[in-house]
Amino acid sequence: MLRSSNPILSKRDAFTPAAPQYGQAPYGQTGFQPYPPQGYQQPGYPQDPTGASQQRTSEPEGRMTLDDVVTKTAVTMAVLVAGAALAWRFIPDTLAFPAMILSALVGFVAVLVVSFRRVVSPPLVLFYAAVEGVFIGMISEVFNNIYPGIVIQAVVATFFAAGVTLAAYKFFNIKVTPKFQKVVFISTLSFAALMLVNFVYSLATGNGGLRGGITGDVSLLAVGISLIAIVLAVLNLVLDFDYIEQGVAMGAPARESWRGAFGLTVTMVWLYIEMLRLLSYLRR
């Protein structure tokens, strides 16, 4: 049984290997299974002349593959980008702030629901992507109106950081140890709790709290928080890559590809938002 320290992927049985095919021995056991003679019928149970029941029980459960994760991540990201583009294009400026706050809260709840479900739900994953797309569209429009061209810069910086992280993970053969997982897990949860308190404070006072506003003077504290957030997001990408790689190696059920795609999407959204903030600091 495989577990992850990523808060999004840390389900107890998320990557339990798929069930073996009927008549196939579980891992570590002998493959010999005694069968009754051909044509033998157990008393009290009529035979199925169509053979449909035997076909149903003999169908093997699909296994998670890297191609599945890549495909489902692409689908999830496409829904998110489409939602962002539609929100940017059709939501009027007068409703931008309410739409941004509402979509952020709904997206947060969706993350919790998907994370705590025992079996991942693809419709819920796509629902999260659509709702988060509205948030991304609104916050991107706000920043781009103040700092023209910053959205393209943030997108390029996000994918560049993710690509460098993946390359470093593969070529330097980074090992994710239990200590590394614990440090990233505790740090991420602590940072999330701090930002949640700061978010509530910002709504109550009308300023940016520890992070400052979108415009105005920039404090070293705000820059430092953004840098810490980017480092944490990159470290969570490492956990995502390791978790998915181990899931594929262990033969996790195919449906878990959606959980891997979901975790990558959440981390990429977080990384993009922090890149957007950091670039806005540098542009002032």
Does residue 17 sit within a domain? no
Calculate Rg over the CA atoms of the chain.
23
Does residue 27 sit within a domain? no
Does residue 37 sit within a domain? no
Number of domains the chain is built from: 1
Query: Residue 104 in contact with residue 97, Cβ under 8 Å?
Result: no
Does residue 38 sit within a domain? no
Does residue 4 sit within a domain? no
* Average pLDDT of the residues of the chain: 81
Choose among 215, 217, 218, 232: nearest CA to 267: 232
Choose among 230, 228, 211, 215: nearest CA to 268: 230
Per residue in 201-216, pLDDT (tens digit) is 887 877 777 777 777 7
Q: Residue 70, exposed/middle/buried by CB under 10 A (0-12, 13-18, 19+)?
A: middle
Query: Locate tokens 């309410």: which residue?
Result: 98
pLDDT value at residue 240: 92
Categorize the per-residue pLDDT at 31 as very low, low, confident or very high, splitting at 50, 70 and 90. Answer: very low
Does residue 31 sit within a domain? no
Is the dihedral angle over the CA atoms 256, 232, 193, 133 positive or is it negative?
Answer: negative
CA distance 5 to 241: 12
Q: Record the pTM.
A: 0.77
Q: Residue 268, exposed/middle/buried by CB under 10 A (0-12, 13-18, 19+)?
A: buried
- For residue 284, is pLDDT > 90? no
> How many CA atoms are closer than 13 Å to the CA of 32, on its beta-carbon side?
1
Per residue in 125-162, pLDDT (tens digit) is 999 999 999 999 999 999 999 999 999 999 999 999 99
Q: For residue 179, give its domain range.
A: 62-283
Is the dihedral angle over the CA atoms 108, 209, 156, 8 positive or is it negative?
Answer: negative
Full DSSP string of the chain = ----SSTTT--TTTTPPPPPPTTPPPTTS------PPTT---TTS---TT-HHHHHHHPPPPB--HHHHHHHHHHHHHHHHHHHHHHHHHS-GGGHHHHHHHHHHHHHHHHHHHHH-SS--HHHHHHHHHHHHHHHHHHHHHHHHHSTTHHHHHHHHHHHHHHHHHHHHHHTT----HHHHHHHHHHHHHHHHHHHHHHHHHHHHSS-GGG--SSS---HHHHHHHHHHHHHHHHHHHHHHHHHHHHHHHT-BTTHHHHHHHHHHHHHHHHHHHHHHHHHHHH-
pLDDT value at residue 204: 81
pLDDT value at residue 209: 76
Does residue 14 sit within a domain? no
Categorize the per-residue pLDDT at 21 as very low, low, confident or very high, splitting at 50, 70 and 90. Answer: very low
pLDDT value at residue 4: 52
What percentage of the chain exceeds 70 in pLDDT?
Answer: 79
Does residue 227 sit within a domain? yes
Ranking 7-21, 24-38, 77-91, 187-201 by mean pLDDT, the lowest is 24-38
Beta partners for residue 253, in sequence order: 63
Which tokens belong to 53?
Answer: 């029941």
- For residue 177, is pLDDT > 70? yes
CA distance 104 to 200: 12
Q: Residue 180, exposed/middle/buried by CB under 10 A (0-12, 13-18, 19+)?
A: middle
